[in-house]
Amino acid sequence: MASHCATAPNQLWSWDITWLPAAINGQYFYWYMVLDVFSRKIVGQEVHVAESAELAALLMRKASLAEQLAGRPLVLHSDHGSPMKGATMLATLGQLGVAPSFSRPRVSNDNPYAESLFRTCKYRPGYPCKPFATVEDARHWTIQFVRWYNHQHKHSGLKFITPAERHDGKASAILTQRDEVYAAAKMRTPERWSGATRNWVLKDEVWLNPERNHPEIIKEIV
């Protein structure tokens, strides 16, 4: 398994599928989610009643079109599930010019960004306490979650800016302004500060599964 580094949006995506509980005992709905590793923005998502490479391929086409990726290099990382490695999915990636990347077999933490996002989803206060009655209910809830996550969630791994702000290139201006506000506050009341102001510098490189001897270590993913 190779390491990957993103220095801008739409260079490295991660995707996965998670189960959403249905009202019928033993039945689940399947949430397909595609995440930009650099910005943490959810760039594609759908809920279906089954897992399949065909549905995954269709979602990938939609996400690629929405992000205007035609002719631009992209790596798509996933685990070894059958929808991820199905012939239809792999053929679609080839047509789109997307390079597939896969986790190591039997290694549970090689897709950390997608797994962390699902954990954020299922442990936040607004997650339903009862199973979804219909797939339409599940779709409605995930749409609301994605809107909140992309545009309102102050991401701790992004110095508390939203994924959409990072994805749209607004992060630098926002963080520079914050730094200026903190510096001005310290100048006004230096006695309230015991050291330097908060570090608002956001790294320009985001690594997925860096080599053990690489200096970059992923510390903040959630």
Counting other chains too, the contacts that 129-136 makes at CB distance below 8 Å and 24 or more residues apart are 130/23, 131/21, 131/22, 131/23, 132/20, 132/21, 132/22, 132/23, 132/29, 133/22, 133/23, 134/23, 135/22, 135/29, 135/47, 135/48, 135/49
Average pLDDT, the chain: 91
Position with higher pLDDT, 19 vs 2: 19
Q: How much is the pLDDT for 33? A: 97
pLDDT tens for residues 25-52?
889 999 999 999 999 999 999 999 999 9
- Domain ranges across the chain: 4-153, 167-208
Task: Check pLDDT > 90 for residue 104.
Answer: no
Question: pLDDT exceeding 70 applies to what percent of the chain?
Answer: 92
Token pair listed for 86: 């199905």
Q: How much is the pLDDT for 1? A: 54
- Rounded average pLDDT over 174-189: 95
Token pair listed for 7: 């220095």
Q: State pTM to two decimals.
A: 0.90
Q: How much is the pLDDT for 109? A: 62
pLDDT category of residue 91 using cuts at 50, 70 and 90: very high
Position with higher pLDDT, 26 vs 210: 26
- Rounded average pLDDT over 85-108: 88
In the 3-class helix/strand/coil scheme, how is 88-143 assigned residue by residue? HHHHHHHHHCEEEEECCCCCCCCCHHHHHHHHHHHHCCCCCCCCECCHHHHHHHHH
pLDDT tens for residues 121-169?
999 888 999 999 999 999 999 999 999 999 999 999 999 999 999 999 9
Q: How much is the pLDDT for 126? A: 87
CATH architecture, range 4-153 = 2-Layer Sandwich (3.30)
